[in-house]
A and B are shown apart, each in its own frame.
Chain A
Amino acid sequence: MMNRWPGMKRLLPLLAGLVLLLSACGREDLSTLNPQGPVAEKQFDLMKLSIGIMALVVVVVFIICIYVLIRFRRRQGDKSIPVQVEGNHKLEVIWTVIPLVLLLILGVPTIRDVFGLAKDYSKDKNAVQVKVTAHQYWWEFEYTDYGITTAQELIVPTDKTISFELVAADVKHSFWIPSIGGKMDTNPGVTNRMYLDFPKEGVFRGKCAELCGPAHALMDFKAKAVSPESFDRWVAAMKAPAVMPADAEIAEKFTSQCLSCHAVGENGGNSAPNLTGIGGRQTVGGILYNDEAGVEQNLHDWITDPQKYKIGAMMPGAEDNSLTPEEVSSIAKYLAEYKLDY
Chain B
Amino acid sequence: MDWLTTVDHKKIGILYMIAGGFFFLIGGLEAIIIRVQLMKPMNDVVAGDTFNELITMHGTTMIFLAAMPLLFALMNAVIPLQIGARDVAFPFLNSLGFWTFFFGGLLLNLSWFAGTVPDAGWTSYVPLAGPTFNSGHGVDYYVIGLQIAGIGTLLGGINFMATIINMRAPGLTFMRLPMFTWSIFITSALIVFAFPVLTVGLVAIMFDRLFQANFFEVANGGSGVLWEHIFWVFGHPEVYILILPAFGIISEVVSTFSRKRLFGYSSMVFATVLIAFLGFMVWAHHMFTTGLGPVANGLFSIATMLIAVPTGVKIFNWLFTLWGGSIRFTTANLFGIGFIPTFVMGGVTGVMLASAPADFQYHDSYFVVAHFHYVIVGGLVFGIFAGLHYWWPKMFGRMLNETIGKITFWTFFIGFHLTFFVQHFLGLLGMPRRVYTYLGGQGYDDMNMISTVGAFLMGVGTIAFLLNVFITWAKPRNATNDPWEDGRSLEWTIPSPPPEYNFQQTPLVRGYDAWWKEKMEGKTAMTPAEPIGSIHMPSPSILPLIMSIGLFIAGFGFMYDHLLVAGGGLVITFGCMVIRSLFDDHGYHIEPEDQEKGVKA
| Residues of A near any B CB (own CB < 8 A) | 22, 25-27, 30-33, 40, 42-44, 46-47, 50-51, 53-55, 57-58, 61-62, 64-65, 68-69, 72-74, 78, 80-88, 91-92, 95-96, 98-100, 103, 106-107, 110-111, 113-118, 166, 170-172, 174, 176, 178-179, 181-185, 187-190, 192-193, 205, 207-218, 220, 287, 289, 311-312
Q: List 16 A-B contacts (CB under 8 A).
A: A30-B429, A42-B357, A55-B348, A65-B340, A72-B326, A92-B267, A106-B351, A172-B126, A182-B360, A183-B289, A183-B360, A188-B127, A205-B430, A209-B289, A210-B125, A312-B48
Cα–Cα distance between A311 and B364 once the two chains are bound (Å): 21
* Cβ contact within 8 Å between A43 and B361: yes
The reply to whether A117 and B360 form a contact with Cβ atoms under 8 Å apart is yes
CA distance A216 to B258 in the complex (A): 50
How many angstroms from the CA of A318 to the CA of B541 in the assembled complex?
64
A72 touches B323 (CB 8 A): yes
Give the docked Cα–Cα distance between A50 and B438 (Å): 29
Contact (Cβ within 8 A) A86 B289: no
A-contact bits for B331-373, CB 8 A (1 contact / 0 none):
0000001001100110011011001111111011100000000
Assess the B352–A47 pair: CB atoms within 8 A: yes
In the bound complex, how far is the Cα of B282 from the Cα of A74, in angstroms?
Answer: 42
Asked, given contacts A58-B345, A114-B357, A211-B52, whether A33 binds B428 with beta carbons under 8 Å apart, the answer is yes
Assess the A26–B428 pair: CB atoms within 8 A. Answer: yes
Whether B313 is near chain A, meaning CB under 8 Å from some CB there, is yes
A115 touches B352 (CB 8 A): no
B344 interface neighbour in A46, A61, A215, Cβ under 8 Å:
A61
B542 adjacent to chain A (CB < 8 Å): no
Known: A189-B223, A311-B47. A99 touches B263 (CB 8 A): no
Q: How far is the CA of A19 from the CA of B546 in the complex (A)?
A: 60
| Pairwise interchain contact A87-B265, C-beta atoms closer than 8 A | yes
Q: Is the CB of B360 within 8 A of A58?
A: no
Contact check, A31 vs B443: say whether CB atoms are below 8 A apart: yes
Tell me which residues across on chain B come within 8 A of A311, comparing CB atoms: 47-49
Beyond A99-B309, A110-B357, whether A183 also contacts B364 by CB under 8 A is yes
Are the C-beta atoms of A184 and B360 separated by less than 8 Å? Answer: yes
Taking a contact as CB atoms under 8 Å apart, the answer to whether B309 and A113 are in contact is no
Given A103-B305, A181-B360, A214-B52: A58 and B218 interface contact (C-beta under 8 Å): no
Whether B289 lies near A207 (C-beta < 8 A) is no
The answer to whether A189 touches B218, judged by C-beta atoms less than 8 angstroms apart, is yes
5 other contacts beyond A68-B327, A183-B360, with CB at 8 A cut-off? A110-B355, A113-B357, A114-B357, A184-B291, A212-B128
Q: Does B116 reach chain A (CB closer than 8 Å)?
A: no
* Shortest Cβ distance from B38 into A: residue: A217
The residue that B324 contacts in the complex, of A25, A82, A111, A205, with Cβ under 8 A, is A82
Which residue of chain A has the shortest Cβ distance to B305 in the bound complex?
A103
Chain B residues lying within 8 Å of A212, measured Cβ to Cβ, are 128
Stretch at the interface among B190-198, B203-211, B314-322, B451-459: B314-322
In the complex, chain B residues whose CB is within 8 Å of the CB of A98: 312
B363 touches A72 (CB 8 A): no
Contacting pair B258 A208 (CB below 8 A): no
Residues in B neighbouring A95, C-beta threshold 8 A:
312-313, 316
A87 contacts across to B, CB distance below 8 A: 263-267, 317
B297 within 8 A of A: yes
From B438, which residue of chain A is reached at the shortest CB distance?
Answer: A217
Does B212 reach chain A (CB closer than 8 Å)? no
A61 near B294 (CB under 8 angstroms)? no
Give the Cβ gap from B438 to chain A, nearest Cβ, in Å. Answer: 7
Q: Of A62, A91, A114, which contacts B341 at CB under 8 A?
A: A62
In order of increasing CB-CB distance, the 8 nearest A-B pairs are: A182-B360, A217-B435, A54-B348, A192-B291, A87-B264, A178-B430, A214-B48, A113-B357
Task: Flag if B298 contacts A217 (CB, 8 Å).
Answer: no
Across-interface contacts of A57 in B (CB, < 8 A): 312, 344, 348
CB–CB A64/B128 < 8 A: no
Complex Cα–Cα for A209 and B48 (A): 15
Q: Most chain-A Cβ atoms within 10 A of its Cβ — which of B127, B358, B425?
A: B358
Asked if A50 and B352 sit within 8 Å, CB to CB, the answer is: yes
Given contacts A87-B264, A107-B302, A311-B47, contact A30 B357 (CB under 8 A): no
Structural contact, B326 and A74, CB atoms closer than 8 A: yes
Q: Which of B313, B337, B439 sits near A96, CB closer than 8 Å?
A: B313
Give the shortest distance, in Å, between B352 (CB) and chain A (any CB): 4
B442 touches A27 (CB 8 A): yes
CB distance from B512 to the nearest CB of A (A): 9
B113 at the interface (CB under 8 A from A): no
B308 to chain A: closest residue by CB: A99
- Tell me, rounded to whole Å, the shortest Cβ–Cβ distance linking A4 to chain B: 11
Closest B residue by C-beta to A64:
B319
Question: Smallest Cβ distance from B405 to chain A, in angstroms?
Answer: 17
**Cross-chain contact of B360 among A43, A220, A312 (Cβ < 8 A):** A43
Q: State the Cβ distance, B475 to closest chain A Cβ, in Å.
A: 25
A231 to chain B, nearest CB (A): 25
B259 at the interface (CB under 8 A from A): yes
Known contacts A58-B341, A111-B302, A208-B432, A72 near B360 by CB under 8 Å: no
A179 close to B49 (CB less than 8 A): no
Q: In the complex, are the beta carbons of A207 and B48 less than 8 A apart?
A: no
Given A81-B259, A95-B312: A32 and B341 interface contact (C-beta under 8 Å): no
Partner of A171, one of B52, B133, B363: B133
